[in-house]
Amino acid sequence: MLSLKKYLTEGLLQFTILLSLIGVRVDVDTYLTSQLPPLREIILGPSSAYTQTQFHNLRNTLDGYGIHPKSIDLDNYFTARRLLSQVRALDRFQVPTTEVNAWLVHRDPEGSVSGSQPSSGLTLESSSGLQDVTGPDNGVRESETEQGFSEELEDLGAVAPPVSGDLTKEDIDLIDILWRQDIDLGAGREIFDYSHRQKEQDVDKELRDGGEQEDTWPSESAEALAPNLLVDGETGESFPAQFPADVSSITEAVPSESEPPALPNNLLSPLLTGTESPFDLEQQWQDLMSIMEMQAMEVNTSTSEIMYNAPSGDPLSTNYSLAPNTPINQNVSLHQASLGGCSQDFSLFSPEVESLPVASTLLPLTPSNSTSLNSTFGSTNLAGLFFPPQLNGTANDTAGPELPDPLGGLLDEAMLDEISLMDLAIEEGFNAGQASQLEEEFDSDSGLSLDSSHSPSSLSSLEGSTSSSSSSSSASSSAASSFSEEGAVGYSSDSETLDLEEAEGAVGYQPEYSKFCRMSYQDPSQLSCLPYLEHVGHNHTYNMAPSALDSANLPPTSTLKKGSKEKQADFLDKQMSRDEHRARAMKIPFTNDKIINLPVEEFNELLSKYQLSEAQLSLIRDIRRRGKNKMAAQNCRKRKLDTILNLERDVEDLQRDKARLLREKVEFLRSLRQMKQKVQSLYQEVFGRLRDENGRPYSPSQYALQYTGDGSVLLIPRTLADQQARRQERKPKDRRK
C-alpha cells in the first residue's frame, strides 16, 4: 500500500510539474481564501462561524424551517444556516482570478522523501506550512489582480520558459514517462482518491494517537477531511468537496430518513461516479492537448478560455471538470516543493466547490422529491431568478452539464466572439509583426502604397517630419524659412540668383523632401545609396536654373572635352521641365523658382519691374499655377498617405481593445456561470432539507423558495411564485418600452 501511495503521490507531483511546464497554472490560493471556507476549515479546523453553538440564538428560525424546542436538531440547523449564509453571499459578484501556482519540484534524497511520506506527513506543522506557502502567494495574486486582466494576459508566459530551460535530460525523460503515466492516471483516480482518503485517515489516526489535538479539532472534521476529498476529473488532484461534508452531517442528523445509514465513503462514491462517468478520459486529454496547442500558438489565455466556455450543452465544456473552476493561464509562479511534502499540497489542489455535481449527490437525500424537483425551478422561485423554467428541467440530470439559462444566448454569443477572438488573436499577432515590419522597412507592394517610400513624400512622413506644417497652409513663415534653407520641391533655389529675403516669403515644403530632391539633381548617383529612390526616374528639377544645374551636375571642367559639353547640354535640356523650356523660349527674365514661390505681393512687384508681353505674363502665371499645384498635389498625396497609416494604426488599436474586452467578457460569463451553479446546488440542498409539520418534504411542484430583497429565503406556494415571476418578467419589458 505504501508503495502504491508513493507511486500515486509521485504521479500527482509529476503531473503538476507537467502542468507547470506546459504553462497551466492551478490556483491553490483561490481555494484558501475566505470565499471558500470549507477547505480552510478542513485543514485548519472548523471556523467559529460554523462551529459556534449559539444557544442564545437557538430560537432563531430559518424561514420555513425552525428548531423545535423539544427536539433540537443542531446539526441540521447549523447546516441550514451555513447554506443560507452562502446563498446570501452570492450577491457579491466575483470575477475569479486566474492565478495559478505551480511548483518547481526537486527530488529530495530518498531518505528525506521517505521521511516525508504521506503516512507521516500531514501534521499540524504541515498545515501551518501551508499557510506559509499561501501567504506570499496571496500577496502576489492581489498584485496581479490589480494589474488588470489585459496586462495579465500580456505578461503570460513570462515565467514559464526558464523552467523548461533548466530541464536536464533526466527531467525530460522523467516528464516523458510521467506524461504516459498521467495519461493512464484517469483510470486510477478512484484509487487515487482512495489513497488520499486512506492517507488522511492515517493522518487522522496519527492525530488521535498523538493526542495533540484540541477538543475543538474534532475527529469528525478529520473524517470529513477524508471522505470529502474529491478527485478532479482533469488533473487527478484531490480536493475537498463542500457539500458531502453536509451530506455526512445530514445522514448523521437524520438517520431515519429515506437515506439509509451510509459511510461517508459510500456517500462519496456516487458522487465520484457521477463526476467521472460522463468523462471520457481520452477526450479530456485531447482537450488538454488542444489547450497546449493553443498556447503554443501564443493565443494566450483567451484560447483556453474559449475551450472552457463552450456553449451550453457542449459536452466538452460541461464535462470539463477543470473548466469553470480552475481558471488557468500561463502565469506560472514556481514554488519549491519536495516530493515528500507534495502529497499534502496536492490535497489543496482543489477546484472550487461549485464544480461538484451537488445536484446529483443531493438527489438521493430526497428520493421522494426526485421526480418533482425538476419542476422546482420555476420562473418565480429562487432558481427561477437565474434559470428559465423551460430549461430548468434538465438541471437535475447531472450536475456537471452546463445549466441552460437565460444567459445561454449570451454564452453562445460569447462563443461566437471567442471564435472571432481566436482569429483576432492570431490576426493581432500578425498585424503586430506587420506593423513592425512597416516601421522597419520602406517597401510595400500594396496598391495604396501605404509605406511607399518610393515616394519622397512618404519618406518625409516616415522620418517624422513636420507633416502638419507641410499639410497645413504652406504660407507659414516657419515653413518658408525651412524652404529657404532647403529649397523647394523641384524648384531648386538658385542660390546665385535668389537671395534669402525673397525666399523667406516663399511657399515652403518639407525640408526632408526637399533635401532628397536636391540630392537628386546635385548628385544623382547618391540616389543609389537610397534603394527606395533608385527607380525614381522622374525629373524633379525641371524648374532648376541652368546655372545651378551646371554647377551641380557638370564634372570638373578639367576633364571635360568639347564633345562632352554637348552631351551635358542635352542632359541639361532633358533635366529641364517643360515650363522651364517654355520660360527659356519666352525669355522670362527670372527663374521659375521665383515665379512659383514668391508671395503674391513680391511676385507682383517682380512683374512690375519688367516690361513683359501678354504671352510672357500668361506663361508666368501658368508656371506659377502649375508649380503651386504640383506642390499641393504632393502635399495632398502625403496627407492621404498619413491618413491611411493613422487609420491602420487605429484599426490595430481597436482590434486590441476588442480582444481585451472579449476576454473580459468571457471571464465575467464564466464567473456568472459559476454563481449560477452554486445557486442551483444551494437551492436544491435547502429545498431538499425542508420538512413540513409531519416531517415530510415539500413538493417542488407545489412550493418554491423565494429569495427576498432583505436576504431571507421564503418558502412560498408555487402559484404565488409563478405570479411574481411573471411580474418580474414584465418589468424589463416595460423598461424597454
Partner DNA sequence: TGTAGTTGTCATATA
Partner DNA sequence: TATATATGACAACTA
Closest-CA residue to 256 (of 103, 73, 105) = 73
Q: Of 164 and 469, which has the nearer Cβ to DNA?
A: 469
Q: Of 54 and 477, which has the nearer Cβ to DNA?
A: 477
Facing residues of 445 across strands? none
Distance CA 118, CA 132 (A): 19
Q: Of 313 and 546, which has the nearer Cβ to DNA?
A: 546
Stretch that binds DNA, among 465-473, 563-571, 672-680, 701-709 (CB under 7 A): 465-473
CB of 532 to DNA, least distance (A): 8
- Which one of 579, 593, 642, 667 is in contact with DNA (CB under 7 A)? 579
The reply on whether position 515 binds DNA by CB under 7 A is no
- Which one of 4, 263, 475, 569 is in contact with DNA (CB under 7 A)? 475
Size of the site for DNA (CB under 7 A): 47
In contact, 348 and 43? CB cutoff 8 Å? yes
Angle 718-723-726 from CA coordinates, rounded to 5°: 125
Closest-CA residue to 248 (of 350, 364, 399) = 364
Q: How many CA atoms lie within 13 A of 473 on its CB side?
A: 4
- Which one of 629, 702, 708, 723 is in contact with DNA (CB under 7 A)? 629
The reply on whether position 737 binds DNA by CB under 7 A is no
370: cell is 426526485
- Which one of 107, 454, 515, 691 is in contact with DNA (CB under 7 A)? 454
The reply on whether position 647 binds DNA by CB under 7 A is no
- Which one of 370, 449, 497, 701 is in contact with DNA (CB under 7 A)? 449
- Which one of 189, 518, 540, 718 is in contact with DNA (CB under 7 A)? 540
What is the per-residue DSSP string for 514-571?
A: HHHHHHHHH-GGGGGGSHHHHT------TTS-HHHHHHHHPPPGGG--HHHHHHHHHH
The reply on whether position 609 binds DNA by CB under 7 A is no
Q: How many CA atoms lie within 13 A of 654 on its CB side?
A: 6
b/e per residue, 525-560, with b = 16+ CB within 10 A?
A: eebeebebbeeeeebbbbbbbbebbeebbeeeeeee
CB of 463 to DNA, least distance (A): 15
The reply on whether position 473 binds DNA by CB under 7 A is yes
The reply on whether position 301 binds DNA by CB under 7 A is no
Distance CA 164, CA 416 (A): 35
In contact, 373 and 393? CB cutoff 8 Å? no
**Phi and psi of 350, rounded to 5°?**
-115, 130
Distance CA 653, CA 647 (A): 10
| Residue 2: alpha-carbon gap to chain centroid | 43
Residue holding cell 437557538? 58
Q: Of 386 and 516, which has the nearer Cβ to DNA?
A: 516
Stretch that binds DNA, among 129-137, 169-177, 300-308, 617-625 (CB under 7 A): 617-625
110: cell is 530518498
The reply on whether position 507 binds DNA by CB under 7 A is yes
- Which one of 64, 384, 456, 511 is in contact with DNA (CB under 7 A)? 456
Q: Of 84 and 533, which has the nearer Cβ to DNA?
A: 533
- Which one of 143, 446, 468, 694 is in contact with DNA (CB under 7 A)? 446
CB of 501 to DNA, least distance (A): 17
How distant, in Å, are the alpha carbons of 108, 370, 385, 540, 575 from that of 537? 74, 87, 74, 9, 11
- Which one of 264, 401, 490, 697 is in contact with DNA (CB under 7 A)? 490
Stretch that binds DNA, among 225-233, 259-267, 286-294, 468-476 (CB under 7 A): 468-476
Q: Of 523 and 692, which has the nearer Cβ to DNA?
A: 523
Residue holding cell 495604396? 448
User: What region, left, alpha or beta, does residue 304 occupy, with left being phi > 0 and alpha being psi -120 to 50 degrees?
Assistant: alpha
- Which one of 25, 189, 518, 624 is in contact with DNA (CB under 7 A)? 624
Binders in 581-600 for DNA, by CB under 7 A:
599-600
The reply on whether position 537 binds DNA by CB under 7 A is yes
- The residues that touch DNA, with contacts defined as CB under 7 A, are 445-447, 449, 452, 454-458, 471-475, 489-490, 507, 535-540, 542, 577-579, 599-600, 603, 622, 624-630, 632-637, 639-640
